[in-house]
Structures are given as C-alpha cells and as structure tokens.
A and B are shown apart, each in its own frame.
Chain A
Amino acid sequence: MTAACASPVADERLIDYWTGDLPADDGAALEEHLFSCAPCSARLEEVASLAGGVAALARQGRISGIISRALLNRLQRDGVRVRQFTLDPGETVPCAAFPGDDVVVTSLHANLAGVRAVSLRVTGPGDTVFGAVDDIPVPAAATGILWATPGAFVRSMPSQQLRLTIRAADDAVLGEYVLEHTHTEAE
C-alpha cells in the first residue's frame, strides 16, 4: 500500500540522516518512520542515488573546479589516477594529460596569509575566458588552491597557452601562472 505520508520527513532531515549528521536518537526514530512509510523511503532513495552517483563520478575522476587537499588525498587513496602540475606565482609550466589520467589537478601556490576568499580566472588565447571561479574559501594556513579538470576533457583541448590568475576579494593579484598545454588525444 503506497498511501500518502501523514507526516512527511523534511528533505534536510533525510539528508542529515544519510550523511550521519543526525544525532543517534533522532536517526533511530527516523528509521522507525522510514520502515513504515513508502513515500519517505522513496525520497531517501533519491538522496542515496544522487549521493552514490556523485561518489561514482569522483572515483572516475569526472569532477571539475576547486577541490580541497583532503579531497585530493581521498582521490589518490581510492586509486584515481591524478596528474598533478604545481606552479609558483610567475611560473610557466608545460602540461598535458595522457591516456589513463583520470583527472588533472593544477596546484597553484600563493601567499594567502590573512585571505579568506579568492577568485580564479583562466583565460586562453585572445583573452578568451576559459573558466572563472569566484568566492573560493581559503582555509587557515592554506598555501594555495587546487583546480581539478577531468583528464578526458584536458586531452581533448587543443594545444594552447592558458593564463591563470588568483585575486583576493579586493581584486589584488595574488598570483599569475601560465600553462603551456599540449593536445594529446589521438585524432
């Protein structure tokens, strides 16, 4: 019988339960409800499915954007093949992704002392904006940011020069970097 639920559980609570952020007693009470309520159980299934999908994508290196050091460590521990390029401010580094690289992580060092958030702008030839990320949180003691791009995408990119700029919230430039990218995908 799939009757409508008389007291539906809020989405936030279902997510907190799934992530282990609900106190144990609350979790136990919620489980009593879930086992006797098909609609709420089906909604939890949706949360679980999305969560499982996100984890599956990460395990395949199909993630992009700024990632934390903890996330990078987790990827490497899980056997995701990470190709990493590390740049100091003002540095130019040749880069490419090769078959078998799941994800490319560019590690940009900068002096971030006292900085709480930065932005990253990536431009290609002719100042074409290749990517822009605003409001990147900077944890205390951070010495740079990590930018992830799926290996398959990097392999498909044409050979070109990419300029990366990190700016503080007041627009001050904290670091400029250049990647000399070489196309590697078979034609």
Chain B
Amino acid sequence: MEQAIDASDGELARAVAARAPGASEAAESELYRRFAPRVRLYGLRHLRDEESARDLVQQVMLLTIEKLRRGDVRDPDQIASFVLGTSRTMATTARRTDARRERLREAFLAPDAFASPDAGATLDLDRLEHCLAQLVDRERSVVLQTFYAESSAAAVGADLGVSEGNVRVIRHRALAKLRACVLAGRQAS
C-alpha cells in the first residue's frame, strides 16, 4: 500500500491482514499513527495517569496488529470498534493493577513520587498560567476544581452554590477562553 495515509481504516486493516509484501508494514504504521493517540486519550480518561495510558497504547496496538496479522479480526472494516473493545478490556485489567500500585504507593512512597511526567508537556505552561490568571475568579475556581481536584459538576456546584448546569456552562466558557488565550500566545510567538 503506497499511500496508506489516504486509505480508510478498514482498507488499512485489510492490508495488514492480507500481509501483502511491502504494503502491510506501511499500513501497520499508519494504523498505529491513527489509533495510538485515541487509545492514549482513552487511557488518560479512564486510568487518569500518563504512564498507565502509554502502557495501554503499547498493549492494545500490539494485540491489534498481531490479531490482524493472524486473521483473527472478523471484520477489518470495524477495526475502530475492535481497538475500542480491546482498550476497554485492557483498561479494566490495568485499573486493577493500578489500584494495587496505589495501595503500595500510599503505604511506602511520597505523594508526588508518581506524578505524571508528561502532564502539560506539549503546552506552554507559562502561557497557560497567564491565561488562567485572566479568567474571572468563578471560572478559575470551576476549572481548578474540575481538572485538578477532579470534582464532578455536581460537587463543584454544591461548593460554589450554583447549579450543576451552571457549572457546565461556566466550565465550557472558561475552557474556550483558555484555548483562545493559549492559541493567541502561540501565534504571537
């Protein structure tokens, strides 16, 4: 497959399954390029840890490619569903491992010993700090309680004396402001 980048997900999966000489390697690379970021996001969302998310990417993509090569994926056109299903299964296992790791960490290690090394790595944190300071206080509170303290909209609402729906509106508006401010900084530099 010479132009893997233009192929659909299903075409790529079929190319890997067919193991055509010179084609499957490019197809495998392109599948990895497309799905690895999505699996990482899934991992971050469900495991809340960069290291665990990266482990999940490796495990899921390895298994996906192996199954495709062996012809064990029944419908290559549904490769996205296959990758998602595999991510769900493996994340469940990883959560159990993480829970065990968390218990060990609480017993033996300092609280920040497992802090994610990559959090915010692709962002200009100085710029984001400036942008965060520009938000009105209520927006900043909602953003910090949501994304740092990981409180639900209902919990944030109870804390601030506003409705859950109102928290969602504030949160959306604040995030839009942060995004615009960070982008403006990128364009200016």
Docked CA distance A63–B141 (Å): 10
Which residue of B35, B116, B149, B179 is within 8 Å of A71 (Cβ)?
Answer: B149
- Say whether B137 contacts A36, CB under 8 Å: no
Most B Cβ at <10 Å: residue of A31, A38, A138: A31
- Say whether A35 contacts B138, CB under 8 Å: no
Q: Does A110 contact B (CB under 8 A)?
A: no
- When C-beta atoms are compared, the residue in chain A nearest to B171 turns out to be A15
Which chain A residues border B172 with CB–CB below 8 Å?
11-12, 15
Q: Mask for B46-67, Cβ within 8 A of A = 1, else 0?
A: 0000100000000000000000
- How many residues from A make CB contacts under 8 Å with B? 56
Q: Does A91 contact B (CB under 8 A)?
A: no
Q: Does A54 contact B (CB under 8 A)?
A: yes
- Say whether B175 contacts A50, CB under 8 Å: yes
Which chain A residues border B148 with CB–CB below 8 Å?
54-55, 58-59, 71, 74
Docked CA distance A162–B31 (Å): 59
Q: Tell me, rounded to whole Å, the shortest Cβ–Cβ distance linking B140 to chain A.
A: 5
- Say whether B141 contacts A65, CB under 8 Å: yes
Docked CA distance A62–B123 (Å): 15
- Say whether B141 contacts A67, CB under 8 Å: yes
Q: Does B8 contact A (CB under 8 A)?
A: yes
Docked CA distance A74–B141 (Å): 14
Q: Tell me, rounded to whole Å, the shortest Cβ–Cβ distance linking A139 to chain B.
A: 6
Main secondary structure of the interface of A (DSSP, over half): helix
Which chain A residues border B87 with CB–CB below 8 Å?
35
- Say whether B151 contacts A70, CB under 8 Å: yes
Among B21-29, B96-104, B160-168, the one that faces the other chain is: B160-168
- Say whether A65 contacts B122, CB under 8 Å: no
Docked CA distance A48–B5 (Å): 25
- Say whether A77 contacts B128, CB under 8 Å: no
- When C-beta atoms are compared, the residue in chain A nearest to B5 turns out to be A1
Q: Does B2 contact A (CB under 8 A)?
A: no
Main secondary structure of the interface of B (DSSP, over half): helix
Quick one: given A19-B153, A133-B137, A135-B138, are A68 and B125 in contact (CB under 8 Å)?
Answer: no
Q: Tell me, rounded to whole Å, the shortest Cβ–Cβ distance linking B161 to chain A.
A: 5
Which chain A residues border B122 with CB–CB below 8 Å?
49
Which chain A residues border B1 with CB–CB below 8 Å?
none
Which chain A residues border B176 with CB–CB below 8 Å?
11
- Say whether B45 contacts A18, CB under 8 Å: yes
Mark out the residues of chain A between 29 and 68 whose CB falls within 8 Å of any chain B CB in the assembled complex: 31-32, 34-36, 38, 41, 44-60, 62-68
Which chain B residues border A139 with CB–CB below 8 Å?
158-161
Q: Tell me, rounded to whole Å, the shortest Cβ–Cβ distance linking B144 to chain A.
A: 6
Q: Does A158 contact B (CB under 8 A)?
A: no
Q: Does A180 contact B (CB under 8 A)?
A: no
Q: Does B133 contact A (CB under 8 A)?
A: yes
Quick one: given A50-B182, A56-B120, are A137 and B162 in contact (CB under 8 Å)?
Answer: yes
Q: Does A100 contact B (CB under 8 A)?
A: no
- 29 CB-based A-B contacts, threshold 8 Å: A11-B172, A19-B147, A19-B150, A21-B153, A21-B154, A34-B42, A35-B84, A44-B41, A45-B41, A50-B147, A50-B179, A50-B182, A52-B50, A52-B119, A52-B120, A52-B147, A53-B125, A55-B120, A68-B160, A70-B145, A71-B148, A77-B111, A78-B111, A116-B161, A134-B137, A135-B136, A136-B137, A137-B162, A139-B158
Q: List residues of A whose CB falls within 8 A of some B CB.
A: 1, 11-12, 15-21, 31-32, 34-36, 38, 41, 44-60, 62-68, 70-71, 74, 77-79, 116, 133-140
